[in-house]
Amino acid sequence: MSSLTRTGRALFLAAVFGFGLMHCFYAMTIKAPVPGPPWVPGGRIWAGVMAVFLIAAGVAIMTRARARLAAGLLALVLFLLVLFHYVPLLAANSRNPGPWTSGFELLAMCGTALILAAATPVEAAEYPPRPAMGNPLIHAGRFLLAALLVVVGVQHLIYAHFVATLVPGWIPGHLFWAYFVGVAFFAAALAIASGVQRRLAGMLLGAMFFLWVLIVHLPRIIGAVHNGNEWTSGLLALAMSGGALIVAGGDSEYATSHCSR
Protein backbone atom coordinates (compact mmCIF):
# COMPACT_ATOMS: atom_id res chain seq x y z
CA MET A 1 0.00 0.00 0.00
CA SER A 2 1.48 3.35 -1.02
CA SER A 3 2.09 6.23 1.35
CA LEU A 4 -0.68 8.18 -0.38
CA THR A 5 -3.16 5.38 0.20
CA ARG A 6 -2.10 4.94 3.83
CA THR A 7 -2.35 8.67 4.51
CA GLY A 8 -5.72 8.94 2.80
CA ARG A 9 -7.04 5.93 4.71
CA ALA A 10 -5.90 7.44 8.02
CA LEU A 11 -7.55 10.80 7.26
CA PHE A 12 -10.80 9.17 6.13
CA LEU A 13 -10.96 6.95 9.23
CA ALA A 14 -10.23 9.97 11.45
CA ALA A 15 -13.31 11.63 9.95
CA VAL A 16 -15.40 8.48 10.45
CA PHE A 17 -14.35 8.29 14.11
CA GLY A 18 -15.04 12.01 14.46
CA PHE A 19 -18.56 11.62 13.14
CA GLY A 20 -19.10 8.65 15.44
CA LEU A 21 -18.06 10.69 18.48
CA MET A 22 -20.15 13.60 17.26
CA HIS A 23 -23.28 11.45 17.03
CA CYS A 24 -22.51 10.02 20.46
CA PHE A 25 -22.26 13.53 21.91
CA TYR A 26 -25.52 14.62 20.34
CA ALA A 27 -27.26 11.42 21.43
CA MET A 28 -26.30 12.10 25.05
CA THR A 29 -26.78 15.86 25.27
CA ILE A 30 -29.14 17.25 22.65
CA LYS A 31 -32.92 17.06 22.80
CA ALA A 32 -33.50 18.29 19.25
CA PRO A 33 -35.36 15.89 16.93
CA VAL A 34 -32.33 15.76 14.62
CA PRO A 35 -29.18 14.86 16.57
CA GLY A 36 -26.91 17.36 14.94
CA PRO A 37 -25.78 17.72 11.36
CA PRO A 38 -25.55 16.23 8.91
CA TRP A 39 -27.39 12.91 9.15
CA VAL A 40 -29.82 10.60 10.90
CA PRO A 41 -33.29 12.07 11.19
CA GLY A 42 -34.83 10.95 14.44
CA GLY A 43 -34.05 11.16 18.12
CA ARG A 44 -31.34 10.10 20.49
CA ILE A 45 -31.73 6.37 19.88
CA TRP A 46 -30.92 6.64 16.19
CA ALA A 47 -28.04 8.98 16.94
CA GLY A 48 -26.66 6.43 19.39
CA VAL A 49 -27.05 3.59 16.90
CA MET A 50 -25.25 5.60 14.26
CA ALA A 51 -22.48 6.47 16.72
CA VAL A 52 -21.88 2.81 17.57
CA PHE A 53 -21.96 1.80 13.91
CA LEU A 54 -19.50 4.46 12.74
CA ILE A 55 -17.01 3.77 15.52
CA ALA A 56 -17.27 0.00 15.06
CA ALA A 57 -16.84 0.30 11.29
CA GLY A 58 -13.84 2.56 11.76
CA VAL A 59 -12.21 0.14 14.21
CA ALA A 60 -12.81 -2.83 11.90
CA ILE A 61 -11.30 -1.05 8.89
CA MET A 62 -8.36 0.25 10.91
CA THR A 63 -7.52 -3.13 12.45
CA ARG A 64 -8.35 -5.08 9.26
CA ALA A 65 -10.71 -7.30 11.24
CA ARG A 66 -13.57 -7.90 8.81
CA ALA A 67 -12.45 -4.68 7.14
CA ARG A 68 -13.97 -5.56 3.76
CA LEU A 69 -17.37 -6.23 5.32
CA ALA A 70 -17.17 -3.09 7.49
CA ALA A 71 -16.26 -0.84 4.55
CA GLY A 72 -19.03 -2.34 2.45
CA LEU A 73 -21.61 -1.83 5.21
CA LEU A 74 -20.41 1.74 5.73
CA ALA A 75 -20.90 2.44 2.03
CA LEU A 76 -24.36 0.86 2.12
CA VAL A 77 -25.51 2.84 5.17
CA LEU A 78 -24.30 6.13 3.70
CA PHE A 79 -26.05 5.36 0.42
CA LEU A 80 -29.32 4.53 2.20
CA LEU A 81 -29.12 7.79 4.15
CA VAL A 82 -28.85 9.69 0.89
CA LEU A 83 -31.64 7.69 -0.71
CA PHE A 84 -34.17 7.99 2.11
CA HIS A 85 -33.27 11.39 3.57
CA TYR A 86 -31.70 13.66 0.95
CA VAL A 87 -33.44 12.46 -2.20
CA PRO A 88 -36.89 13.36 -0.78
CA LEU A 89 -35.53 16.77 0.25
CA LEU A 90 -34.26 17.37 -3.27
CA ALA A 91 -37.53 16.19 -4.76
CA ALA A 92 -39.41 18.67 -2.58
CA ASN A 93 -37.13 21.63 -3.34
CA SER A 94 -34.47 21.06 -5.97
CA ARG A 95 -33.33 24.69 -5.78
CA ASN A 96 -32.13 24.33 -2.19
CA PRO A 97 -28.32 23.96 -2.35
CA GLY A 98 -28.06 22.37 1.11
CA PRO A 99 -29.34 18.86 0.27
CA TRP A 100 -27.29 18.85 -2.92
CA THR A 101 -24.09 19.53 -1.01
CA SER A 102 -24.77 17.25 1.97
CA GLY A 103 -26.18 14.44 -0.13
CA PHE A 104 -23.28 14.34 -2.56
CA GLU A 105 -20.76 14.66 0.28
CA LEU A 106 -22.22 11.50 1.76
CA LEU A 107 -22.09 9.86 -1.67
CA ALA A 108 -18.41 10.79 -1.93
CA MET A 109 -17.79 9.18 1.47
CA CYS A 110 -19.77 6.18 0.23
CA GLY A 111 -17.47 6.05 -2.79
CA THR A 112 -14.37 6.15 -0.60
CA ALA A 113 -15.76 3.29 1.50
CA LEU A 114 -16.39 1.31 -1.70
CA ILE A 115 -12.77 1.77 -2.76
CA LEU A 116 -11.57 0.66 0.68
CA ALA A 117 -13.82 -2.40 0.45
CA ALA A 118 -12.38 -3.27 -2.96
CA ALA A 119 -8.83 -2.72 -1.71
CA THR A 120 -9.26 -5.14 1.19
CA PRO A 121 -8.82 -8.85 0.52
CA VAL A 122 -11.53 -11.32 1.44
CA GLU A 123 -10.69 -12.84 4.80
CA ALA A 124 -9.12 -16.28 4.54
CA ALA A 125 -9.45 -16.21 0.75
CA GLU A 126 -8.02 -19.26 -1.00
CA TYR A 127 -7.92 -17.72 -4.45
CA PRO A 128 -6.11 -14.73 -5.94
CA PRO A 129 -8.04 -11.48 -5.57
CA ARG A 130 -9.60 -9.88 -8.60
CA PRO A 131 -7.24 -7.35 -10.20
CA ALA A 132 -8.07 -3.91 -8.85
CA MET A 133 -8.02 -2.33 -12.30
CA GLY A 134 -11.14 -4.25 -13.26
CA ASN A 135 -12.95 -3.88 -9.96
CA PRO A 136 -16.28 -2.08 -10.48
CA LEU A 137 -16.33 -0.89 -6.86
CA ILE A 138 -13.23 1.23 -7.48
CA HIS A 139 -14.73 2.71 -10.64
CA ALA A 140 -17.99 3.44 -8.80
CA GLY A 141 -16.11 5.03 -5.91
CA ARG A 142 -14.15 7.33 -8.20
CA PHE A 143 -17.33 8.28 -10.05
CA LEU A 144 -19.09 9.26 -6.80
CA LEU A 145 -16.18 11.45 -5.75
CA ALA A 146 -16.12 13.08 -9.19
CA ALA A 147 -19.89 13.67 -8.97
CA LEU A 148 -19.44 15.60 -5.73
CA LEU A 149 -16.76 17.76 -7.35
CA VAL A 150 -19.12 18.65 -10.19
CA VAL A 151 -21.88 19.63 -7.75
CA VAL A 152 -19.66 21.79 -5.53
CA GLY A 153 -17.95 23.21 -8.60
CA VAL A 154 -21.29 24.44 -9.91
CA GLN A 155 -22.17 25.85 -6.50
CA HIS A 156 -18.85 27.70 -6.27
CA LEU A 157 -19.69 29.46 -9.52
CA ILE A 158 -23.36 30.14 -8.75
CA TYR A 159 -22.80 31.22 -5.14
CA ALA A 160 -19.33 32.70 -5.60
CA HIS A 161 -20.05 35.77 -3.49
CA PHE A 162 -21.13 33.62 -0.55
CA VAL A 163 -18.17 31.28 -0.96
CA ALA A 164 -15.89 34.33 -0.94
CA THR A 165 -17.05 35.14 2.59
CA LEU A 166 -15.61 31.80 3.77
CA VAL A 167 -12.09 32.68 2.62
CA PRO A 168 -9.96 33.82 5.60
CA GLY A 169 -9.62 37.58 5.80
CA TRP A 170 -5.82 37.55 5.53
CA ILE A 171 -5.97 35.94 2.07
CA PRO A 172 -6.42 38.54 -0.71
CA GLY A 173 -8.72 38.12 -3.70
CA HIS A 174 -11.64 36.34 -2.05
CA LEU A 175 -13.89 36.29 -5.11
CA PHE A 176 -11.04 35.14 -7.34
CA TRP A 177 -10.43 32.10 -5.11
CA ALA A 178 -14.14 31.21 -5.11
CA TYR A 179 -14.16 31.05 -8.92
CA PHE A 180 -10.72 29.44 -9.11
CA VAL A 181 -11.67 26.60 -6.78
CA GLY A 182 -14.90 26.03 -8.71
CA VAL A 183 -12.97 25.59 -11.94
CA ALA A 184 -10.40 23.42 -10.15
CA PHE A 185 -13.19 21.13 -8.97
CA PHE A 186 -14.32 20.61 -12.57
CA ALA A 187 -10.78 19.86 -13.69
CA ALA A 188 -10.26 17.38 -10.84
CA ALA A 189 -13.59 15.67 -11.56
CA LEU A 190 -12.63 15.23 -15.22
CA ALA A 191 -9.20 13.84 -14.32
CA ILE A 192 -10.55 11.41 -11.72
CA ALA A 193 -13.38 10.18 -13.95
CA SER A 194 -11.27 9.83 -17.10
CA GLY A 195 -8.05 8.58 -15.53
CA VAL A 196 -5.97 11.27 -17.25
CA GLN A 197 -3.61 12.70 -14.60
CA ARG A 198 -5.74 11.06 -11.91
CA ARG A 199 -2.83 10.70 -9.51
CA LEU A 200 -1.84 14.36 -9.79
CA ALA A 201 -5.45 15.51 -9.48
CA GLY A 202 -6.03 13.35 -6.41
CA MET A 203 -2.86 14.60 -4.74
CA LEU A 204 -3.67 18.26 -5.37
CA LEU A 205 -7.30 17.79 -4.34
CA GLY A 206 -6.32 15.98 -1.15
CA ALA A 207 -3.79 18.67 -0.29
CA MET A 208 -6.33 21.41 -0.95
CA PHE A 209 -8.99 19.86 1.28
CA PHE A 210 -6.47 19.26 4.06
CA LEU A 211 -5.25 22.86 3.77
CA TRP A 212 -8.85 23.98 4.18
CA VAL A 213 -9.12 21.91 7.34
CA LEU A 214 -6.15 23.80 8.78
CA ILE A 215 -6.78 27.39 7.65
CA VAL A 216 -10.58 27.52 7.25
CA HIS A 217 -12.35 24.90 9.34
CA LEU A 218 -10.08 24.54 12.37
CA PRO A 219 -10.20 28.27 13.27
CA ARG A 220 -13.99 28.25 12.84
CA ILE A 221 -14.32 25.17 15.07
CA ILE A 222 -12.12 26.75 17.75
CA GLY A 223 -14.26 29.88 17.57
CA ALA A 224 -17.52 27.93 17.93
CA VAL A 225 -16.71 24.66 19.70
CA HIS A 226 -20.35 23.80 20.39
CA ASN A 227 -21.51 24.43 16.81
CA GLY A 228 -22.19 21.08 15.17
CA ASN A 229 -22.24 22.61 11.70
CA GLU A 230 -18.61 23.71 12.03
CA TRP A 231 -17.51 20.27 13.22
CA THR A 232 -19.42 18.67 10.36
CA SER A 233 -17.82 20.90 7.74
CA GLY A 234 -14.34 20.27 9.12
CA LEU A 235 -14.79 16.50 9.31
CA LEU A 236 -16.24 16.36 5.81
CA ALA A 237 -13.25 18.28 4.45
CA LEU A 238 -10.98 15.79 6.25
CA ALA A 239 -12.90 12.86 4.75
CA MET A 240 -12.71 14.38 1.27
CA SER A 241 -8.97 14.88 1.68
CA GLY A 242 -8.60 11.23 2.59
CA GLY A 243 -10.78 10.07 -0.29
CA ALA A 244 -8.83 12.13 -2.81
CA LEU A 245 -5.50 10.75 -1.58
CA ILE A 246 -6.85 7.19 -1.74
CA VAL A 247 -7.86 7.81 -5.35
CA ALA A 248 -4.39 9.25 -6.00
CA GLY A 249 -2.90 6.00 -4.69
CA GLY A 250 -3.94 4.38 -7.94
CA ASP A 251 -4.99 0.94 -9.14
CA SER A 252 -1.51 -0.57 -8.80
CA GLU A 253 -1.40 0.20 -5.09
CA TYR A 254 -4.78 -1.44 -4.55
CA ALA A 255 -3.63 -4.54 -6.36
CA THR A 256 -0.45 -4.58 -4.27
CA SER A 257 -2.44 -4.31 -1.05
CA HIS A 258 -4.49 -7.32 -2.13
CA CYS A 259 -1.50 -9.46 -2.95
CA SER A 260 0.47 -8.54 0.14
CA ARG A 261 -2.20 -9.76 2.53
Tell me if residue 220 falls in helix, strand or coil. Answer: helix
16: pLDDT strictly greater than 60: yes
What is the average pLDDT score of the chain? Answer: 86
Q: How many domains does the chain divide into? A: 1
Any residues with CB less than 8 A from the CB of 93 and at least 6 apart, and which?
A: 99
User: What does the pLDDT read at residue 85?
Assistant: 86
* Residue 24, pLDDT score: 86
CA torsion, ordered 196, 111, 146, 151, to nearest 10 deg: 180
Planar angle of CA 72, 77, 78, nearest 5 degrees: 100
Q: What confidence tens digit (pLDDT) does each residue in 186-201 have? A: 999 999 999 999 999 9
Q: What is this structure's pTM? A: 0.88
Average pLDDT over residues 19-24: 89
**Per-state percent for the chain, helix, strand, coil, to nearest 5:** 80, 0, 20
CA dihedral 15, 204, 181, 100 (to 10 degrees): -40
Residue 32: the pLDDT is: 52
Which structural domain range is residue 157 located in? 3-259
**Side chain identity at residue 236, one-letter code:** L
User: Exposed e or buried b for every residue in 1-20, given b needs 16+ CB within 10 A?
Assistant: ebebbebbbebbbbbbbbbb
Give residue-wise pLDDT tens across range 108-135.
999 999 999 988 765 544 334 444 444 8
| DSSP class of 34 | S
